[in-house]
Amino acid sequence: MDISNPTLAWIENRCYRVCDNTYVTDNDEIAPYTEEVYDPYELNNLEFEDESIEITPYKGSLYKHSFQVNSNLYGMIIGAKGATLKRIKLSTNTKINVPKLGQEGSIVIIGENKKNIITARYQINCIIENARSKMQPTHFLGIPTNSENIVDQFTKFKDNILNNYANDEGIVENIFQIPNKLHVTIVTLILLDEIERKKAIDVFEACHKDVIKPFLDKSGPITIVFKGLKCMNQNSSKARVLYCSIHNEEGYLQELLDKIAEYFIDQGVATTKFNKVKMHMTLMNVRYIHLRSQESNDKTILSFDATNILKNHEDTYLGQINLSTIHLSQIHTKTEGGYYKATAEINLINS
């Protein structure tokens, strides 16, 4: 390892230096926790950059550290027949108490020295972050785009496709977004309990104060134009997602959304790494079919042919809005108005 340029690992806003003999994997796929696939880091493989976690004296010469973890993650930490937790205990010479499955509480680590406790906490953090990275998002931060003019234009587009291209592969009604749920996603989040939701709301409010409001005070109102259709993948005959491109002449929107996403990531609420937010409004998605359709034949659709759609609607205009609100929304929900239920929302007009 080049000591002037070490490999760094970020876990829960803390930086750790990873030595050469540390096991690291780039494999995105992991087996279920019922298989013993986790190999804890050896005690001496970590050089700690930040020992700021709270460790207190406990019974004579021992030390103790307690922290909260959502109960849905206990199984990953414990492992099959307790194997993963046992390995961490042995490799760090610590005693670790995990609440029973289904119960909320604190994980408690007890050890003879602070370094062992920090190492055990780091290993548990690695398991947690790995598990969360495989979970589906529960919430998203986004811009509702279900204004009357856009919903009207989208409905006309949808009717045109169903009337003219219904014989094209994969074109069924359930592949379209619900008009009142049209939106632009800024960043997705995994919020498993009330504690995590409260933290996300606090970060959202702080982001408004620290990032959004100062930005809009300088930029002025931001107009968002929706024009031009594209596929996520290059092969339009095997499309999975078709979306409408987003335009903002001054370029302020891209800059603002990137700053918002970066803020949420820096605060540890969203963990998705990105170069910049991909600004788009999804119109058609194969996943919608699998979520909604009761027809068994529809559920076999894995892609759709968007060739004719792009040929005739490449420059279709769906309308424009002024950026006026941002919502922290709960996925797979619906209000009386048809949009997603808001865990929190910020009105940007005269805010």
Structural domains in the chain (count): 2
Residue 13: give its domain's CATH number. Answer: 3.30.1370.10
Neighbours of 31 (CB within 10 A): 9
| Residue 148 CA neighbour count, 13 Å, CB half | 0
Domain boundary among 88, 115, 133: 133
Please give the distance of CA 303 from its chain centroid, rounded to a whole number: 24
Residue 246: give its domain's CATH number. Answer: 3.90.1140.10
Residues 225 and 185 in one domain: yes
Return the structure tokens found at 262: 């970066």
Q: What is the DSSP letter of 138?
A: S
**Domain-located, residue 2:** no
Task: Reduce the secondary structure of 248-264 to three states and give it as a string.
Answer: CCCCHHHHHHHHHHHHH
Residues 16 and 163 in one domain: no
Helix axes of 83-92 and 114-133: crossing angle, nearest 10 degrees: 150
Task: Give residues with Cβ within 8 angstroms of 35, minimum separation 6.
Answer: 80
Return the structure tokens found at 156: 């006309």
**Domain-located, residue 1:** no
Could you give the angle at the alpha carbon of 10 between the alpha carbons of 8 and 14, nearest 5°?
110
Write phi, then psi, for 120 (nearest 5 degrees): -65, -40
Task: Give residues with Cβ within 8 angstroms of 61, minimum separation 6.
Answer: 112
Residues 176 and 305 in one domain: yes
Please state, in angstroms and rounded to a whole number, the distance separating the CA atoms of residues 161 and 347.
35
**Domain-located, residue 118:** yes
Residues 128 and 166 in one domain: no
**Domain-located, residue 194:** yes
User: Are residues 11 and 126 in contact, defined by beta-carbon separation less than 8 angstroms?
Assistant: yes
Q: Which domain holds residue 42?
A: 7-133
Beta strands at 183-189 and 342-347: parallel, antiparallel or unpaired: unpaired
- For the chain, the C-alpha Rg in angstroms (whole number) is 24
Residues 192 and 122 in one domain: no
Domain boundary among 73, 104, 133: 133
- What pLDDT is attached to residue 105? 85
The residue ranges of DSSP E strands in the chain, in sequence order, are 7-11, 14-18, 46-48, 56-58, 62-68, 94-97, 106-111, 139-144, 183-189, 223-231, 241-247, 280-285, 317-322, 325-330, 342-347
Domain boundary among 106, 133, 160: 133
Task: Give residues with Cβ within 8 angstroms of 274, minimum separation 6.
Answer: 261, 265
Calculate the alpha carbon distances from 294 to 68, 161, 257, 291 in Å.
40, 21, 36, 9
Q: What is the DSSP code string of 173-202?
A: GGGBPPGGG-EEEEEEE---SHHHHHHHHH
Calculate the alpha carbon distances from 87 to 35, 42, 96, 168, 258 in Å.
14, 10, 11, 55, 40
Residues 172 and 300 in one domain: yes
- What pLDDT is attached to residue 271? 67
Closest CA to 260 of 326, 314, 212: 212
Residues 153 and 224 in one domain: yes
Q: What is the DSSP code string of 274-298?
A: -SS---EEEEEEHHHHHHH---TTG
**Domain-located, residue 65:** yes
pLDDT in tens, the chain (351 residues): 443 444 444 444 454 444 343 333 333 332 332 333 333 333 344 444 445 689 999 988 999 999 999 888 999 999 999 999 999 999 999 999 999 877 778 999 999 999 999 999 999 999 998 998 889 999 999 999 999 999 999 999 999 999 999 999 999 999 999 999 999 999 999 999 999 999 999 999 999 999 999 999 999 999 999 999 999 988 999 999 999 999 998 999 999 999 999 999 999 898 676 779 999 999 999 999 988 866 666 778 899 999 999 999 999 999 999 999 999 999 999 999 999 999 999 999 876
